Structure 1
Amino acid sequence: MCLLAMVVSVVQAPFNYFTGLKMTGIIFGLLLLALAGLYYLSRFKNRSALSIAITVVLVNLLFAWIYFVSSGISGASLMTFTLTFFLVMIVAPRGQYVVWLIFNLLLVAAIILIEYYRPELVPNMYADRESKIVDLSATYLTSVLVIFFGTIYLKNAYNREKQQREEKTRVLEVLNTEKNKLFSIISHDLRSPMASIQSYLELMKDIQLPPEQKLQLEAELLLMVNNTQDMLYNMLLWSKSQLQGLTVHLAPVNVYKAAMPVLDIHTTFITNKRLHLTTDIDKNLTAMADLNMLQLIIRNLVGNAIKFTAPGGQITLEAHQENQQCLIMIRDTGTGIDPKRVPEIFSLKARSTFGTGNEKGIGLGLYLCSEYTAAQHGRIWFQNNPDKGCSFFLSFPLA
């Protein structure tokens, strides 16, 4: 607004000077210098409130002076008071609106009353009728243009604030959804496996079981504990990412060396479920990724493949270079993905389902995979296999 007023002063100073209102032109020149100083005070010295107050008082007093040297009420001064008040209302703090309104009304009333009772103080400064018409027309044109650009500024500011409010509302809705998801996990999905573990332990304590049956129960208990540990790990990672944001450390990662420790963790599950695991990983393949994130993604995808593949099924992990990208594929011969669940499979809306061995999840695994893949500038997608099961694909830039 200060810059806009400076533009008006740049136009009005020479215009008034060369149309016969030399003193008015000089005053606009002084106003231009004052506005430049106040702009510096506001923009570079961070004294906006003081700058606004000085500007309002100074501009109004200078326009009052102009009023007496540019034919008073017969000239264009009253229009400039209206224009000044419009600019003041744009930049002034809300609590000062009434103050500046009263100031403007009292000042204008005072100079009009002075002219009424002392008309000799307001001489006619126009050389002829033509110069008066030109001055009034130019002032009107300037006022209309300033009001036009000022209104655009106000509308843009309003729309920006409205957009920011809507964005904050969307963020709050997402946070609320995530909060509800977390409470659902704690109250139900996590409580159920803990209750099952407790039942297993009580059964083994109270009843003398045959060795074979005891070994079977211990294997199932171990499977459930490991499954619950995965659930907790995913939940803690998700909660941490929501509270602290994702921290990504991209570096060259050998995919074979990153994947093999993950597969070793799942060896017990694969053996207990009598699954067949096949790997085909290029030992020289190096991706630009975050090692911990990449291992978490592979662990979740392999864990899902184990969960939804029936005993005796096949799981395949492949990784090779394709079109300057590192392509990782996890294929299984499991139950596949219901087409109705496809649109929400990578979102928080995804509901957890039981695996072929009654394994329970919390619906966070694929969401975390999607978030962590995107954070590493990668891509994740899937497709149901023509025969049986489904395949998940990961693509990362080569190191």
Structure 2
Amino acid sequence: MGFPGTAATKLVAQQNELYSLGSRLSQKIWLFNKLVWEPMNSEGFRKLTYNAADQKASELMVAPYRDLPADIPFIGTHAWPAQAAVHAGLTNVVDAIPDNWPMALHLAEGAVHAVQTPSAYLGYKALRGMDKKRTLNPMPEGSLYCTGHYIDHELVVNIPFDCLKRIDRALDGSPTRYLLSVGGAGAQQDLFQGIIEHMLPFIDADQAALFVNVGDHADVWESLKARIPQLANATEHFDDFGEIQAYAESALEGEAHGIHAFGSSDIFAAVYSTNLLMRACDLLVTKPSELAFYPVPKLMIKRVGGHEAWGAIRAAEVGDGTYELETLQEICGMIDLVQAEPAIIADMCDNIVAADAVGTYDGAYRVVQLACGDDAGAAIAE
């Protein structure tokens, strides 16, 4: 996306628009979700034949890579740039696979592959279910590593401090801080409305505070304000990344009350605002996508696409998040439970600290090690 006018950017932008449209439709049309979106995201993208078509299409994306040294360490956070880098002749390519559900969509032949969990490692190693008619040969030795969760440095190094602050707030009766993160497609508005409306009595009683990051979807916030009159009183932090950063830093040590809305027309600032706010929140409310792996207590709302289900399973088993809450009733029930028993957040924090101690959240460091040729130090489990 950083090379406007190139075939690579045009292809990615077009596919992103289609995927976003599908995500939104899946939340509005039950039958479309059941018959098209869920099976496509869990089984359609799983097929090896789907990957073969992608591998060929990615040959059109090589132009931005041609001026790079062939031996430069390169990390693709999606299969397409990893595939294109291999096609361009780069030799130290790592394909950092995000999903916990093995899908051939994420393979980049010729690259070294990284996954975040042991279950994903076994699934990819065996190419599980990627051809329903036959058992495939496993991925070759040295082509796949389980590195742990891909987490930003500033979040990893501050895990002990941030968890201690959350535990203190849980035990001293401070308002529970919820961070509601709007996904990249801007879907699930009806669900967000129901969650916010349910939380309003807790917020009015100063028993909860709400951060809403709509990312680069300002229209989502305007729509929510039109639906929920009380949001007119929310404090808005839009299109001023410095101000968003300053508020997030002040909330780390200070108090947080009421409702705060965040957003930015710059997609990079929009996404990173969640990282900043994450440290100051007590419970992240998110669908089980990439954020399912982050070291923050999480309330997992309904997935958008069948592939996301296994993100919630991972969080529930690590103990740093809930299981997937598939209905508004379930979500509201969990919010009520957390409000009544804030020690649930403290328990999740204890699990995060324990997982951190064994390197669960060190995946990003290990992916860099892989790209730099340190195979021995990169894997935590095979």
* TM-score of the aligned structures, taking structure 2 as reference length: 0.22
* TM-score of the aligned structures, taking structure 1 as reference length: 0.21
Looking at CA atoms only, which structure, 1 or 2, has the larger radius of gyration?
1
Higher helix fraction: Structure 1 or Structure 2? 1
Q: Structure with the greater relative contact order (CA < 8 A, sep ≥ 6): 1 or 2? A: 2
